Amino acid sequence: MQNIHTPHLLIVDDEHAHLKTLERLFTRQKYHVSCAKDGQEALDILRKQHIHLLITDLMMPGQVDGMDLLALTKKLSPDTEVILMTAFGTVERAVQGMKEGAYDFITKPIKRDAILKSASKALERQALIAENKALKATITKITNQQNETPLVGQSSALRKITSLARQVARSNTTVLLTGESGTGKELIAKLIQQHSERSNAPFLTVNCAALPESILESELFGYEKGAFTGASQRRTGRFEAAHQGTLFLDEIGELSPQVQVKLLRVLQNGSFERLGSNQPVNVDVRIIAATNRDLEEELKQGNFREDLFYRLNVVNIELPPLRHRREDIPLLAEHFLRKYNAKNNKQIKSLSQTSSNALNHYNWPGNVRELENIIERAVVLDQDNLIDVDDLPAHIAQHQNDVQRSISIPLGTPLEEIERMVIMETLKLTGGNKKMAAQMLGIAARTIYRKL
């Protein structure tokens, strides 16, 4: 059984005797070795297995030679290091290969010490890059904690959002947070409050979709004794309770027309009336609103007041869905793993590579909230201190072998349209390189041209 820490090498050469010699050499050095007789066979292995180091002959028969295989490897598995083997007459091409991402080239006849040294250094470089990425992630995590940032991630999209939130925090302007459910709108609202001059004042949340209209109005504005049956004493509403602080109104698109009018007055005048009273109450409250609805479409439908929309939408911060910041998925998964380890008194060490692949390639319609739910479930069900695909729901586990891209095709789509979609998405992956796309799809380049 292969040790997960043992580097996996793939050696490619059309000379059978030379291929077997290299296989024996690296096997004696305790590497896990796979072999391929040509570029196409190597490509099949790269699609199915994680390869740390590819050692390939430069000149090979067939549709995929060494240079093609180098380019395809960097597309399918960017972290894989590549060493080219070349005859004296093709050194110039090998040098070009290094410019295109190869780690090194070795001239034939291959010397034992030279190939072993080159392979060792290539794997050291790969380990160093991986360590550097992990260190950057740790530094980002620590920096986030020091800055009281409640968000986990290091993607450029998240950095832009947090930067804008901190900038807006210094003002008292109203902020509208938009985006799909589960993207972290309340966390951004808290971040704005933490970095504002109101950081030591109350931060209160009201979910406008969770309460009926009559209860929501009294929850926001309070009521006087005798305002309705059962009102035995005066009750302070959230606006009064949040005086000099921040009030976060989640799902603002669910407000009834009557409550919209009262909210508009607060935004315009800083005052409101409790239910059962005609005496104005003055407050100093910053409003941060959030919605997963398209409020401009709600305006057109007559479901939301135009004047209220413009009062709320002074600064709009749109949160990206998790599928648009996939580089944050591993960090979020580790964060939730630690959280639910502690909560459930578990000692789960990590996620397996296959379970990580499944999480990374799933589309996450429920966004971060869905990911948290999945990790909590996995922690509770796990029995061997390693989150593997069998700890994940089936609809997520099926993505464990996905590669760089995947596409969703509705049932009933004509085969001709499916073929077109697959070809076009593969061309996007290869940057428009038709020959490379044909090699990845296992068809002739002329077929690509004909289909286009």
DSSP 264-292: HHHHHHSEEE-BT--SEEE---EEEEEES
pTM of the model: 0.58
Can you give the pLDDT at residue 1?
45
Average pLDDT over residues 50-75: 91
pLDDT of residue 228: 78
Amino acid at 320: P
Burial grade of 373 (CB within 10 A; 0-12, 13-18, 19 or more):
middle
pLDDT (tens digit per residue) in 267-326: 999 988 888 888 888 999 999 999 999 999 999 999 999 999 999 999 999 999 998 888
Residues β-bridged to residue 246: 203, 286
Determine the angle formed by the axes of helices 91-99 and 66-76, rounding to 10 degrees.
10
The DSSP annotation for 310-352 comes to HHHTTEEEEPPPGGG-GGGHHHHHHHHHHHHHHHHT----EE-
Q: Cis peptide before 109, with omega less than 30 degrees from 0?
A: yes
Residues in the chain: 452
* Mean pLDDT, the chain, integer: 87
pLDDT at residue 154 is higher than 90: no
pLDDT tens across 418-438, in order? 887 788 777 766 767 788 788
Q: What is the C-alpha separation between 68 and 74, in angstroms, rounded?
A: 10
Residue 24 has pLDDT above 90, yes or no: yes
Q: What integer pLDDT is reported at residue 149 of this predicted model?
A: 42
The conformation of residue 7, written as its DSSP 8-state character, comes to P
Cβ atoms within 10 Å of 224's Cβ, excluding its own: 17
pLDDT tens sequence across 112-131: 999 999 999 999 998 888 88
Cα–Cα dist 428/362, whole Å: 20
The answer to whether residue 148 scores a pLDDT higher than 70 is no
Q: What percent of the chain has pLDDT over 70?
A: 92
